[in-house]
């Protein structure tokens, strides 16, 4: 090893050791736990009376696949990815088109205001929405009552309405990101190209589908994949909003609750659930990247 490499290593090591010790090691250790019977009594510290910690092979994974709550969480996580991502993309495109329209005055000002949700801590945003959706004092139900809905939905304890509320919250949280990416994509469409299309006699629809969409589709696909990964990893919002209610709706939350949210923690099963979730996410991201060939875009 030459002198320069040693110097570089010395400079990199403090950060890297901390990172490896507190991030990578726990992940590897979690993989190990997923194959053990770790539960209350034998994990983290072995109690003398409890069953000893031992390797159980694929038992936790077999359990997970036959557990109705796990199946429900798995299916609903994907349903959430489908619904929330569609909404996020639609809302993102609509907002970008509106705030990029040449007839709208003061665009710069609106765009500056619209990224406010981005600047707020997530905990605060969820608390704001928790109040918005409060069944009694929340403005949404007050508004519904004023509109003549005699029996407005209970956003807090009904799973169906709560799920809809989570979709709305996620769209609100993600639109600044979607809007920023899509707006910069729209602005990258050269005016000369559109003018040329107008001169050639293309109508609005043709200009949109033949000129604008081919140029902006790649950044939109990029944003869609990133935001769908965020939807799949949806954890903090349901956790703060009502963790018990959404336990069997979101994979990460279910894994967390198996370890820290139940009276009889089962760490091995929790680790198995989280490992499955991580692998599914990795495969999903990999496939998406391959399909859209985004890694070429990443490399510029």
Partner 1 sequence: MKLKIELPKRKDELLKSFALTLLALFVVGILLFPVYYMAMLSIKPSGALATTEIDLIPDKVTLSNYKDLLIGHTEGLIKTTDFEINAKDGTIKDSLNRYEIELHEVTIVGSYSSRFTLIDAQVLEREGGEERQEADDTQIIVRGELIKLSAKQVESTGGVKNLKVSAQRIIVKVSSPDEVPLDLSGFTKIDENTYEAQNVEMEIKEGGIISAEEATFTATDFAFIRLAKVGGEVPDYMKRSLLIATLTVILTLIFVIPSAYAFSRLKFFGREHVLYFYLMFTQVSGGLGIAGLVALYGMLVKLHLTNNIFVLPVIYAAGAVPFNTWLLKSYLDSIPPDFDEAALVDGAGYLQIIRHVLIPMSLPGLATVAIFAFIGGWTELILANLLLNQENYPLTVWLYTMLANLRSISWNQFAAAALIFALPVFIMFLLAQNYVRSGLTLGGLKE
Q: Least CB distance from residue 137 to partner 1, whole Å?
A: 5
Residue 193 near residue 206, CB atoms below 8 Å: no
Q: How far is the CB of 287 from partner 1 (least distance, A)?
A: 14
Stretch binding partner 1 (CB under 8 A), from 43-51, 71-79, 158-166, 191-199: 43-51
113 vs 199 by CB, closer to partner 1: 113
142 vs 291, beta carbon nearer partner 1: 142
CB neighbours of residue 18 within 10 Å: 10
Residues numbered 178 to 217 that lie near partner 1 (CB under 8 A) are 180-181
Pick between residue 109 and residue 200 the one whose CB is nearest to partner 1.
109
Q: How far is the CB of 189 from partner 1 (least distance, A)?
A: 17
Counting contacts by CB under 8 A, is residue 44 touching partner 1? yes
Which tokens sit at 205? Answer: 């629809």
Q: Which of 166, 277 has the CB closer to partner 1?
A: 277
* Interaction residues for partner 1, span 125-154 (CB under 8 A): 127-132, 134, 136-137, 139, 142-143, 145-146
Return the residues of window 233-292 that contact partner 1 according to CB under 8 A. 233, 235-236, 239-240, 252, 255-256, 259-260, 267, 270-271, 274-275, 277-278, 281-282, 285
Q: Return the closest-CA partner of residue 39 out of 262, 276, 252.
A: 262
DSSP symbols for 241-288: HHTTTTTTT-HHHHHHHHHHSSSS--HHHHHHHHHHHHHHHHHHHHHH
**Which one of residues 21, 71, 195, 217 is an interface residue with partner 1 (CB under 8 A)?**
21
Answer yes or no whether residue 226 interacts with partner 1 by CB under 8 A. yes
Nearer to partner 1, 27 or 210 (CB): 27
Other residues' Cβ atoms within 10 Å of the Cβ of residue 133: 24
Rounded to an integer, what distance in angstroms lies between the CA atom of residue 267 and that of residue 99?
Answer: 48
Find, among 255, 257, 259, 260, the residue nearest to 244 by Cα.
257
Q: Which of 35, 37, 43, 174 binds partner 1 (CB under 8 A)?
A: 43
- Do residues 249 and 199 touch, judged by C-beta distance below 8 A? no
Any alpha helices (H) in the chain, and if so which ranges? 3-19, 25-34, 59-66, 68-98, 107-114, 116-119, 122-132, 139-146, 159-187, 191-199, 204-207, 213-232, 236-242, 251-260, 267-292, 294-298
- Work out which of 177, 183, 211, 231 binds partner 1, going by CB under 8 A: 177
Nearer to partner 1, 18 or 65 (CB): 18
Residue (67 or 134) nearer to partner 1, CB: 134
Which of the residues 92 through 121 are near partner 1 (CB under 8 A)?
Answer: 95, 98-99, 101, 103-110, 113-121
């Amino acid at each position: 090893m030459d002198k320069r490499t040693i110097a570089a290593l010395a400079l990199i090591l403090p950060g890297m050791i901390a990172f490896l010790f507190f991030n990578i090691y726990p992940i590897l250790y979690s993989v190990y736990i997923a194959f053990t019977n770790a539960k209350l009594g034998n994990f983290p510290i072995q109690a003398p009376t409890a069953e000893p910690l031992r390797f159980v092979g694929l038992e936790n994974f077999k359990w997970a696949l036959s557990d109705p709550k796990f199946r429900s969480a798995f299916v609903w996580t994907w349903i959430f990815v489908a619904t929330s991502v569609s909404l996020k993309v639609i809302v993102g495109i609509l907002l970008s088109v509106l705030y990029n329209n040449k007839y709208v005055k003061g665009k710069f000002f609106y765009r500056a205001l619209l990224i406010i949700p981005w600047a707020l801590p997530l905990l605060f945003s969820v608390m704001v929405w928790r109040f918005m959706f409060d069944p009694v004092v929340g403005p949404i139900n007050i508004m519904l009552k004023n509109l003549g809905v005699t029996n407005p939905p209970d956003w807090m304890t009904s799973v169906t309405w709560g799920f809809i509320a989570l979709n709305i919250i996620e769209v609100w949280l993600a639109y600044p990101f979607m809007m920023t990416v899509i707006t910069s994509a729209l602005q990258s469409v050269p005016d000369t190209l559109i003018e040329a299309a107008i001169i050639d006699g293309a109508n609005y629809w043709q200009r949109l589908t033949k000129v604008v969409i081919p140029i902006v589709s790649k950044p939109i696909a990029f944003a869609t994949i990133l935001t769908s990964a965020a939807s799949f990893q949806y954890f903090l919002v349901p956790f703060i909003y009502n963790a018990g209610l959404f336990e069997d709706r979101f994979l990460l939350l279910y894994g967390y609750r198996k370890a820290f949210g139940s009276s009889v923690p089962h760490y091995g099963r929790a680790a198995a659930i989280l490992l499955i979730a991580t692998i599914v996410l990795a495969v999903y991201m990999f496939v998406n990247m391959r399909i859209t060939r985004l890694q070429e875009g990443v490399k510029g």
